[in-house]
Amino acid sequence: MSGATITAGRMDLMLTELRLPTMKRLAMSLCTQSDREGWPAHRLLEALLEHELAERETRRIDRHRAEACLSPDKRLSSFDFAAVPSVSKAQVMALAEGHEWLDRGANVLLFGPPGVGKSHLVSALGHALVDAGKRVLFTRCSDIVQRLQAARQELRLPQELAKLDRFDLLILDDLSYVRRDQSETSVLFELIAERYERKSLAVTANTPFSQWGEVFVEPAMTLAAVDRLVHHATILEMNVESYRRRAAQGTQAARRTQPSGTRETVA
Ligand code: ADP
Ligand code: MG
């Protein structure tokens, strides 16, 4: 066995021990390139470290994307802003790119009837923030309420709320569909109060604030929840006709204007 092979084997072992998989994978080829091209030692070291750091960041973002539970195809690139004139694309882009609002624990609230793109837009925002290195969790509001209620019954609500602290943004989709039940809605209130001015929430809802009394039951609790949510919030009103319905109508209209033989070609 040659000296170089023994050195390579020892290096592999040490890089495994140090958990540096990218350096391990690239060490031999970069060393060879460095010898061939006469790199100064610091250049080789820098190249190895840069690759390790870059791949570590990629792996981290992949992990954060997986834990975020976002729909893979609901991205900003597939969102048609022209369909929702009341929403400013520039404002959404600013939310996607500037993270100062997350540092302040500010919120985003999206309102509008079913099918107008609230879930799509909020997922798209989530993806953009994951790309930027933030941690996001997308959950149906009724699911998280159930999870928190179970935690309360087992006397571990504070621990469960603390676990959610690792997310810079918690997306609560469809607040309006939470069941009207005192113990359930009070855990939702506790979640809102717990994150207030510390960690951001993005909430989508079909119903305007005036109907939130049906979600929180007690008027004082509704008022307190709304107060905390809107205190530092960007509100996106999406009062347009359902995108789904418009898309379906558009397809039907296109079909009607096509000669019957060419129907299959209509998108
Ligand atoms: P909501 O959450 O408001 O009920 P969704 O986000 O579920 O609506 O949107 C319904 C469907 O229409 C989804 O498939 C979504 O991707 C699509 N959609 C809605 N609005 C848009 C839009 N502006 N651009 C592209 N797709 C959209
Ligand atoms: Mg939705």
Do 147 and 204 belong together in one domain? yes
Distance CA 84, CA 160 (A): 37
Q: 264 C-alpha to center of ligand 1: Å?
A: 25
Ligand 1 centroid–CA 115 distance in Å is: 6
Do 80 and 57 reside in the same domain of the chain?
no
Length of the chain: 267
Please indicate, yes or no, if residue 191 is contained in any of the structural domains: yes
Q: Tell me the pTM.
A: 0.85
Ligand 1 pocket, mutate which of 120, 123, 240, 246 (most atoms under 8 A from CB) = 120
Whether 172 is covered by a domain: the verdict is: yes
Are 80 and 94 found together in one domain? yes
Residue 266 lies in a domain: no
Q: Is 173 touching ligand 1 by the criterion CB < 6 Å?
A: no
pLDDT value for 178: 76
- For residue 262, name the pLDDT band (cuts at 50, 70, 90): very low
Last residue of a domain, one of 67, 89, 104: 67
Strand 107-111 to 233-237 pairing:
parallel
Domain that includes residue 125, residue range: 69-246
* Residue closest by Cα to atom 23 of ligand 1: 80
83 lines ligand 1 (CB under 6 A): yes
Residue 134 covered by a domain: yes
**What pLDDT is attached to residue 253?**
61
Write down which residue in 67, 98, 118 finishes a domain: 67
The reply to whether 132 falls in a domain is yes
pLDDT, tens digit (0-9, with 9 covering 90-100), for 244-260: 777 777 666 666 655 44
Rounded-to-5 percentages of helix, strand, coil across the chain: 65, 10, 25
Residues 61, 64, 68, 74: what is their CA dihedral angle, to the nearest 10 degrees? 10
Per residue in 27-72, pLDDT (tens digit) is 999 999 999 999 999 999 999 999 999 999 999 999 999 999 999 9
51/140 same-domain check: no
Do residues 224 and 97 both lie within one domain?
Answer: yes
21 and 117 co-located in one domain: no
Binning pLDDT at 50, 70 and 90, where does residue 8 land? Answer: confident
**256 belongs to a structural domain:** no
Evaluate: CB of 140 within 6 angstroms of ligand 1: no
Atom of ligand 1 nearest to the CA of 113: 3
For residues 23 and 112, state if they share a domain.
no
Question: Is residue 104 in some structural domain?
Answer: yes
Note whether 155 and 31 are same-domain residues.
no
The predicted structure's pLDDT at residue 255 = 62
Is residue 215 scored above 70 in pLDDT?
Answer: yes
Instruction: Quick: pLDDT tens for 157-181.
Output: 999 999 999 999 999 999 987 766 7
CATH code assigned at 95: 3.40.50.300
189-193 contacts at long range (C-beta below 8 A, 24 or more positions apart): 189/216, 189/221, 189/224, 189/225, 190/148, 190/157, 190/161, 191/144, 191/148, 191/161, 191/164, 192/225, 192/228, 192/229, 193/224, 193/225, 193/228
Q: Number of structural domains, the chain?
A: 2
* Residues 121, 38 share a domain: no
Round the average pLDDT of the chain to a whole number and report it.
89
76 lines ligand 1 (CB under 6 A): no
Which band of pLDDT confidence, cut at 50, 70 and 90, is reported for residue 131? very high
DSSP state of 261: G
> C-alpha dihedral over 55, 56, 59, 63, to 10 degrees?
-160
| Domain annotation covers residue 261 | no
Q: Which residues in 17-173 belong to E strands, given as ranges?
A: 107-111, 136-140, 169-173
Asked whether residue 117 falls in the same domain as residue 192, the answer is: yes
Examine the domain organization and report whether 75 and 159 are in the same domain: yes
Q: In this predicted structure, what is the pLDDT of residue 256?
A: 62
The answer to whether the CB of 118 is under 6 A from ligand 1 is: yes
Indicate if 36 and 142 belong to the same structural domain.
no
